[in-house]
């Protein structure tokens, strides 16, 4: 387990295209002593925190005084898996690049940059003390006390996906989650594009589910790649708590909205958690 606050050892950059904006964007990662992950866009510092989330449709978007940064969830998951607690991310566009649709390239960049540990060994973990649950229609998400992070995810889509379930009991070392890609149903693409989104989407950065099979020529990276990716999104969203959460998470058809709602409910009462 991570014992201390950390940051990256050296500055590095990543460039790619935004999934929804279709714009090229460059991220520059800088070491940071102040606790937490934050983005700098148009001279505004926007903490990557649950209470800064302003939109959860198709991605997690944070905002401050009208300045926004969207699609932060995969990058936040990469910070989690890299053990990075403190970092400043300069971004020259409104959306984090999608890269290959997973968190893998972000994770690689952090691994190459290395991790620096601060002497401080507090304020890293949030331990759930009381059960919290949120629901929306037939979707629900709950968390209860546990000394590690344990996630069970249920998803359900039309065939050929159907119902899928996966439990991860050692989340900090579940590296197959990191390079599981985002996905969409073929029939949803037209509606998304009509809404002015997915301008940068392609088979290079998303899994497309056809009526009978996966359309991507190389197929899936893992048999459970789709449910893996929903776990990846959840981990990234949970890391906007500002802490590495310890608790047993059960999720059914959850998405960015419920992920954020769970954190709001969790933080609504200090008796729900402890920080150490």
Predicted local distance difference test score (pLDDT) of residue 223: 94
Asked whether 236 and 244 are in contact (CB, 8 A), the reply is: no
Q: For the chain, how far is it from start to end, CA to CA, in angstroms?
A: 13
Question: For a pLDDT cut of 90, what percent of the chain falls above it?
Answer: 90
In the chain, the largest separation of any two C-alpha atoms, in whole Å, equals: 54
Predicted local distance difference test score (pLDDT) of residue 34: 92
Number of Cα atoms under 13 Å in the Cβ half of residue 15: 2
For the ranges 17-26, 74-83, 90-99, 186-195, the lowest mean pLDDT is seen at 186-195
pLDDT above 90 for 203: yes
pLDDT per residue as tens digits for the range 35-76: 999 999 999 999 999 999 999 988 999 999 999 999 999 999
Average pLDDT, the chain: 96
The label of the residue with tokens 């119902």 reads 163
For residue 207, what are the contacts with CB-CB under 8 A and spacing of at least 6?
101, 181, 182, 183, 184, 214, 216, 220, 225, 226, 229
Question: For a pLDDT cut of 70, what percent of the chain falls above it?
Answer: 100
Cα distances (Å, whole numbers) of residue 127 to 65, 149, 200, 211: 32, 9, 38, 43
Task: Give the pLDDT mean for 194-214.
Answer: 91
Task: Give the pLDDT mean for 181-207.
Answer: 90
pLDDT per residue as tens digits for the range 152-176: 999 999 999 999 999 999 998 898 9
Task: Give the pLDDT mean for 88-115.
Answer: 98
Predicted local distance difference test score (pLDDT) of residue 196: 82
The label of the residue with tokens 């693409």 reads 189
Task: Give the pLDDT mean for 1-29.
Answer: 94
pLDDT per residue as tens digits for the range 106-132: 999 999 999 999 987 779 999 999 999
> Which entry of 20, 74, 229, 256 is annotated as an active-site residue?
256
Residues 110/95/237/164 CA torsion (nearest 10 deg): -100
Domains of the chain with bracketed CATH: 6-117 (3.30.230.20), 125-270 (3.30.1700.10)
Task: Give the pLDDT mean for 14-41.
Answer: 96
Cα distances (Å, whole numbers) of residue 221 to 85, 102, 174: 29, 11, 15
For the ranges 195-204, 218-227, 239-248, the lowest mean pLDDT is seen at 195-204
**pTM of the entire predicted model:** 0.96
Q: Is 74 an active-site residue?
A: no
Number of Cα atoms under 13 Å in the Cβ half of residue 116: 13
Predicted local distance difference test score (pLDDT) of residue 194: 83
pLDDT above 80 for 1: no
């Amino acid at each position: 387990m991570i014992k201390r606050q950390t940051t990256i050892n050296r500055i590095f950059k990543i460039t790619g295209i935004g999934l929804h904006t279709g714009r090229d964007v460059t991220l520059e990662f800088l070491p940071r002593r102040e606790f937490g992950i934050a983005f700098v866009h148009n001279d505004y510092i926007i903490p990557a925190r649950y209470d800064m989330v302003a939109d959860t449709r198709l991605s997690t978007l944070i905002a401050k005084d009208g300045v926004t940064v969207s699609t932060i969830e995969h990058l936040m998951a990469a910070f989690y898996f890299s053990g990075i607690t403190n970092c400043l991310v300069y971004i020259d566009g409104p959306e984090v690049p999608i890269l290959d649709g997973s968190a893998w390239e972000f994770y690689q960049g952090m691994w190459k940059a290395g991790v620096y540990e601060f002497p401080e060994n507090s304020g890293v973990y949030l331990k759930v003390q009381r059960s919290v649950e949120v629901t929306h229609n037939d979707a629900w998400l709950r968390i209860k006390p546990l000394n590690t992070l344990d996630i069970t995810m249920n998803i359900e889509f039309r065939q050929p996906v159907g119902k899928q379930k996966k439990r991860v009991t050692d989340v900090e070392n579940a590296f197959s989650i990191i390079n599981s890609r985002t996905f969409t149903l073929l029939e949803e693409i037209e509606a998304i594009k009509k809404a002015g989104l997915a301008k940068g989407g392609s088979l290079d950065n998303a899994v497309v589910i056809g009526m009978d099979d996966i359309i991507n020529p190389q197929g899936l990276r893992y048999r459970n790649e789709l449910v893996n990716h929903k776990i990846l999104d959840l981990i990234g969203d949970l890391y906007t708590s500002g802490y590495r959460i310890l608790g047993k998470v059960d999720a059914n058809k959850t998405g960015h909205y419920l992920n954020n709602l769970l954190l709001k409910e969790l933080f609504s009462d200090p008796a729900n958690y402890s920080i150490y």
